[in-house]
Amino acid sequence: MARKVRLGMIGIGAFANTHLKGALQCENAELVALADADETRLHQYDDKYHLGHLDHYTNYHDMLARDDIEGVIVVTNDQSHRQPTVDALMAGKHVLCEKPMALSMDDCRAMIEAEKKSGKKLMVGQIGRYTTSFNDAIRLIEDGEIGEIFFVESEYAHDYSQIPGSTGWRKTPERHAIIGGGCHAVDLLRRIAGNPTEISAFANHKVLTDWPVDDCTVAIMKFPNNVIGKVFCSIGCKRSYTMRTCVYGTKGTLIFNSSSIEMYKDHFTDSPLYDKLYGNKAQHTVKIPVPTGHNDHNTKGEIGDFCDSIINDTSFPCTGIEGAVTAYACMAIVESARTGEKVIMNYDFM
């Protein structure tokens, strides 16, 4: 029988629902224990997912003291990723930590340090890496379908007015939306265009006026190979959630979100109508819909990969360093919007 990785989970709040669903569907995972400082939250999914038989801990250190747990999933609020992650690594567990890796580079560095010291592996849950349409679009780019990329843009538009987090943690000064939510769009652009080298950003605050952070941010970025890009992040906008992304290449354009992909390419036609209008073999751009899947928040794929990498001793798809680069780029956006100065990126922690 295939080996299963025995897992514990820290932080049984709202998003733990999605992680529990994913973990329970994974053939290479066996969830054995849950931990949350809040006793009510700790038990909130017991009936829904029949978890009564698992061990429950209000102090996660008691769970980490067990020898039979190999991997830990950290789903605590953004401000509380560092300590459980460091403690779990130092207790000899591999860790899958929710995005954003952390809200400060001090925290990211401490987590990377603990990974090195412990010899265990840290994965950051940038879940967009498991979205089928994003991966299909990236494959088309890598296959050269749209030629050489010159401009990339992605947006994270998500109305947060009703989701401050169980203790209001999203509505705090240190939890800037571009780090907590916009990291999905930044991570996606990094996968397509590489690590940004320069960032300039602007922000305003007109919708969620009782929140302590800017609710709209735009960042312009320079990437390697003279690619330029833009990220838009709004947490107050009145529209349905989207991560609409456009990638412009010398031979075509891709416009995609988490459920669809459209490709635009030049087409040469000899249709009589175009002949008449534009002359022989007229060139025009055609839209080519590309079939793809829809699986936002694919925790089954993410946890499955986490366990596979543990079983086969391979590198995680989104390592601690990868998570830190995305977090750092987001922090640079906040910094540039605050100071009005361009940030030249310095990846000295890699």
Ligand X SMILES: NC(=O)c1ccc[n+]([C@@H]2O[C@H](COP(=O)([O-])OP(=O)(O)OC[C@H]3O[C@@H](n4cnc5c(N)ncnc54)[C@H](O)[C@@H]3O)[C@@H](O)[C@H]2O)c1
Assess 37 for contact with ligand X (CB under 6 A).
Answer: yes
Residue with Cβ nearer ligand X (51 or 149): 51
Nearer to ligand X (CB atom), residue 60 or residue 211: 60
Q: Is 326 among the residues that bind ligand X (CB under 6 A)?
A: no
Q: Which of 16, 96, 108, 157 binds ligand X (CB under 6 A)?
A: 16
User: In this chain, which stretch among 76-84, 268-276, 304-312, 335-343 interacts with ligand X, using CB under 6 A?
Assistant: 76-84
> What distance in Å separates the CA atoms of residue 14 and residue 335, rounded to the nearest whole number?
30
Q: Which one of 98, 107, 155, 187 is in contact with ligand X (CB under 6 A)?
A: 98
- Identify which of residues 16 and 33 has a Cβ nearer to ligand X in the complex: 16
CA dihedral 53, 59, 61, 66 (to 10 degrees): -20
Q: Where are the alpha helices (DSSP H) in the chain?
A: 16-25, 39-42, 46-49, 60-64, 82-90, 105-118, 132-142, 177-180, 183-193, 272-278, 299-312, 320-339
Least Å from the CB of residue 304 to ligand X: 15
Tell me which residues in 248-307 interact with ligand X (CB under 6 A). 297
Residue placing its CB nearer to ligand X in the complex, 198 or 296: 296
Question: Is position 134 an interface residue for ligand X (rule: CB under 6 A)?
Answer: no
Single-letter amino acid, residue 162: Q
Residue type, 152: V
Among 20, 26, 78, 131, binds ligand X (CB under 6 A): 78
Residue 8 sits in the site that holds ligand X (CB under 6 A)? no
Query: Burial, 271: exposed, middle or buried (Cβ in 10 Å; 0-12, 13-18, 19+)?
Result: exposed
Report, in Å, the least distance between residue 279 CB and ligand X. Answer: 50
Between CA 187 and CA 190 the distance in angstroms is: 5
- Of 91, 94, 54, 101, which Cα lies nearest the Cα of 72? 94
DSSP code at position 100: S
Closer CB to ligand X, residue 114 or residue 263?
Answer: 114
* Residue of 5, 7, 8, 13 interacting with ligand X (CB under 6 A): 13
- From the number of C-beta atoms within 10 Å of its C-beta (0-12, 13-18, 19+), residue 152 rates as buried
Q: Which of 29, 33, 35, 307 binds ligand X (CB under 6 A)?
A: 35
Q: Site residues for ligand X, window 159-178 (CB under 6 A)?
A: 165-167
Closest-CB residue for ligand X? Answer: 13
The overall longest dimension of the chain from CA atoms, in Å, is 78
Residue numbers at the binding site for ligand X (CB under 6 A): 10-16, 35-38, 41, 60, 75-78, 80, 84, 98-99, 125, 127, 165-167, 180, 297
